[in-house]
Amino acid sequence: MKALEVSNIDTYYGTSHVLHGLSLEVPERNLVCLLGRNGAGKTTAIRSIMGMTPPARGSIKIFGEEVAGSRSNNVYAKGARIVPQGRHIFPMLSVEENLHLALIGQSSPDVKAETQKAYQMFPILGQRKRQKGKTLSGGELQMLAIARAIMGPTRLLLMDEPSEGLAPVVLTQIEKTVQELKARNITILLAEQNLQFALQVGDYFYIIDNGAIVFSGDKSSLQANEEIKLRYLGVGL
């Protein structure tokens, strides 16, 4: 079953046409990477799927249900969650308060069990649970953003640039976390420009440029295509 089907969406910011007939799909229990340079349209694609910047045209289905044009809370109700670029943690709230906010509106959540789930995945957050968000390091903020997104019944996780600004040792830990999420059968769409990180975790790959998909394929086909990597990602292996 397809967890996500995006078909021919066009998204605008005012009169600026950002996404041009964008289509992609994410099979259930897979991790699909959306690669591209800064400004290519990755974040707009994520925002369109979550209903934060609804597309003007096209279809978005989550587990077979049409959500294009729906409010973000309706998309959230389908089990879709987002780890946004820049983390967007509430700086004046504690780690635990940030986590508990994610459970508001969910039906009969087991707050204690969900909180413990987050602390088991990221023990450092348990140690920092009374600290305010503004006191955390960049790596701890990213851990908190991921932990917040998996509070409750997460079925589809959208991750926007999770490697951004992280030291190599922290990035290794985030990579292990993503692999653990896959092992828990959470379907993931990962928007990323760090090719090496994406290749470590991804099952299938799309490359976006100027709001349109310019490549799709598995790991071996991407690794073998030096021209595509150089032209659209600025790297070669």
Instruction: Give the predicted TM-score (pTM) of the model.
Output: 0.93
Counting as low any pLDDT under 70, the low residues of the chain are 108, 236-237
Given this model, what pLDDT does residue 108 score? 64
Q: Strand order of the sheet with strand 187-192?
A: 80-83, 156-160, 187-192, 31-35, 204-209, 212-218
Amino acid at 203: D
Given this model, what pLDDT does residue 106 score? 76
Given this model, what pLDDT does residue 165 score? 82
Intra-chain end-to-end CA distance of the chain, in Å:
33
Given this model, what pLDDT does residue 237 score? 47
pLDDT in tens, 148-199: 999 988 999 999 999 888 888 889 989 999 999 999 899 999 999 999 999 9
Question: If you count DSSP H runs as helices and E runs as strands, how many of each does the chain have, helices first?
Answer: 10, 10
Distance CA 159, CA 96 (A): 21
Given this model, what pLDDT does residue 235 score? 77
Q: Give start and end residues of each alpha helix (H) in the chain.
A: 42-49, 72-77, 95-101, 111-121, 123-127, 138-149, 168-183, 195-201, 219-224, 226-228
The full set of domain ranges for the chain reads 2-87+155-232
Asked if residue 161 lies in contact with residue 192, where contact means CB atoms within 8 angstroms, the answer is yes
Q: Domain 2-87+155-232 in CATH: superfamily?
A: P-loop containing nucleotide triphosphate hydrolases (3.40.50.300)
